[in-house]
Amino acid sequence: MRIVKIFDTTLRDGEQSPGASMNVAEKLRLAEQLARLGVDIIEAGFAIASPGDFEAIKTIGNEVEGPVICSLARAKEEDIKRAWESLKDAPRRRIHTFHSTSDIHLKYQFRISREEALKRSVDMVRFAKSFVDDVEFSPMDATRTDIGYLCEVIEAVIEAGAVTVNIPDTVGYSIPGEFGAMIKTLRDRVKNIDKAVISVHCHNDLGLSTSNSLSAVLNGAGQVECTVNGIGERAGNCSMEEVVMALRTRRDLFNADTNINTEEIMRSSRLVTKITGMSVQPNKAIVGANAFAHESGIHQDGLLKEKSTYEIIRPETIGLHKTKFVLGKHSGRHAFRTRLDELGYTLSDEEVNSAFYRFKKLADQKKEIYDEDIEALVSEEFTTAPEIYSLTGLSVSSGTDQKPAATLKLKVNGELIEKTGHGDGPVDAVFRAITLITGAKSRLLRYEVKAITGGTDALGEVVCSLEEGDRSVSGHGADTDIIIASAKAYINALNKLAARKK
């Protein structure tokens, strides 16, 4: 089984997404994660583009071990020299130079002939080769380039010393059958193609970047250029996680794999989201929030019996802990009863049927049913949950010249306890005081405030979502004083956690 190299350009092409700019420290942090992920090449930036890019490439080359570190350079001497200066201390380095080859680019953007473009490409590959052995060349806008001329350029740059030739679908124009045929044509018609690795760099303007890349692999490509979460210019690039998991899942078809440690995929995805602020859509393949979430009762029933019925990838493979069953109006009795068991409720068939009927009525009104909703359904009909913690007193001090503090009185199993907490703000101080009294080890997942009525005397409602171990709950509190409402919501959530433990 052959290994397809993963050339990660998140730090270069991915950063070109509007709003995704990264500083040197952020680039270094992400490069270290990409090394843990196991990518073969990191395109760390475009050295001549800015002092920040130059510094990032240099820093990554000095500090990140494992992958080849690459800098992009136009087919210009000053670009290539700058790329070399940024890479010269890196133990494994590559210069990636490029020049347009399509008639539309040559005529309207560069205003030069095919012959001149060919000469520049060859001369600059030779120039880059004088600095490093590992030179990659890209004929920009290859998919709109005359195929005969493209073959001529590829053969010439390989002869000049390029060891990787990248075929970019720069504007996301091609479709899979067409793109795969282009790669096959290059393999058949370029005499010295065996002396270089064929790479592909596909953009997602028609939503086909991953499909095009996989078609290229089927036709002999040995390297795929991609980004984490598929970020990049315009509609983005080929998604690293998609192409990697397609190859891993369908090794029977591709007879190929990668060196990627797939258990680092989710961690990498979340880090890119955190650094760039670009959220992943919920239904995004592999890393979306819904990628391993199931609501359909038929699917849930099958998964509870055998995971492979409706999951072609185990969530653990990409670094997730488990499949997520979303309980909603499409869920079935099997999934509902399983969740009751997980929550610690042992009900008779008759009780389950009664609770399931009420669950379905509620599901018609809500998009998603949470654990506390199920507990409420069961508790209202079959059980009563005691209140462990109750608020009896609260005073808060805060201002521009003092550290916020909250003195809280709680009854804990009938015993009155008073503590004072300090925090970054009055709500934080209240929560810290509650934690001092209860010893809670839960983590605050969400804090949401909304006005129930209008006006400055509006009744405010607060929702606090807490997580402890594998349990998560939401607490609610309402009051005209939003600080008191916050305390009530936090305590309400803690009471739910305590009841669930019992």
Query: How much is the pLDDT for 383?
Result: 47
Nearest to 297 by CA among 336, 353, 342: 336
- The span from the CA of 271 to the CA of 290, in Å, is 18
Over residues 88-140, the pLDDT tens digits come to 999 999 999 999 999 999 999 999 999 999 999 999 999 999 999 999 999 99
pLDDT for 234 equals 92
Of 380 and 247, the one with more pLDDT: 247
Residue 174: partners with Cβ closer than 8 Å, 6 or more residues away: 143, 182, 202, 208, 212
Spell out the SS3 assignment of 201-245. EEECCCCCHHHHHHHHHHCCCCEEEEEHHHCCCCCCECEHHHHHH
Tens of pLDDT, residues 276-315: 988 888 889 998 877 766 556 677 667 667 767 867 788 7
The DSSP string of 455-499 is STTPPEEEEEEEEETTEEEEEEEEESSHHHHHHHHHHHHHHHHHH
* Two tokens, residue 168: 């970019």
What are the pLDDT digits (tens) for 200-213? 999 999 999 999 99
Element (H, E) at 393: strand 389-399
Distance from C-alpha of 431 to C-alpha of 366, rounded to nearest angstrom: 29
Q: Which helix (H) or strand (E) holds 31?
A: helix 24-37
Is a pLDDT exceeding 80 seen at residue 374? no
Is it the case that residue 83 has pLDDT exceeding 60? yes
| φ, ψ of residue 38 in degrees (nearest 5) | 100, 25
Q: Are 13 and 53 in contact (CB under 8 A)?
A: no
Calpha distance 329→316 (Å, rounded): 27
In CATH terms, the fold of domain 2-276 is TIM Barrel (3.20.20)
| CA dihedral for 410, 413, 414, 417, sign (positive or negative) | negative
What CATH code would you report for 389-501?
Answer: 3.30.160.270
Predicted confidence (pLDDT) at residue 20 exceeds the cutoff of 80: yes
Q: Do domains 2-276 and 389-501 have the same CATH topology?
A: no
The predicted structure's pLDDT at residue 320: 76
427/444 Cα distance (integer angstroms): 12
% pLDDT > 90, the chain:
64
The CATH class for the domain spanning 293-382 reads: mainly alpha
Q: Where are the domains of the chain?
A: 2-276, 293-382, 389-501
CB distance 338 to 345 below 8 Å: no
* Residue 475 pLDDT: 82
pLDDT at residue 384, as a whole number: 46
Q: How far apart are CA 70 and CA 8, in angstroms?
A: 10
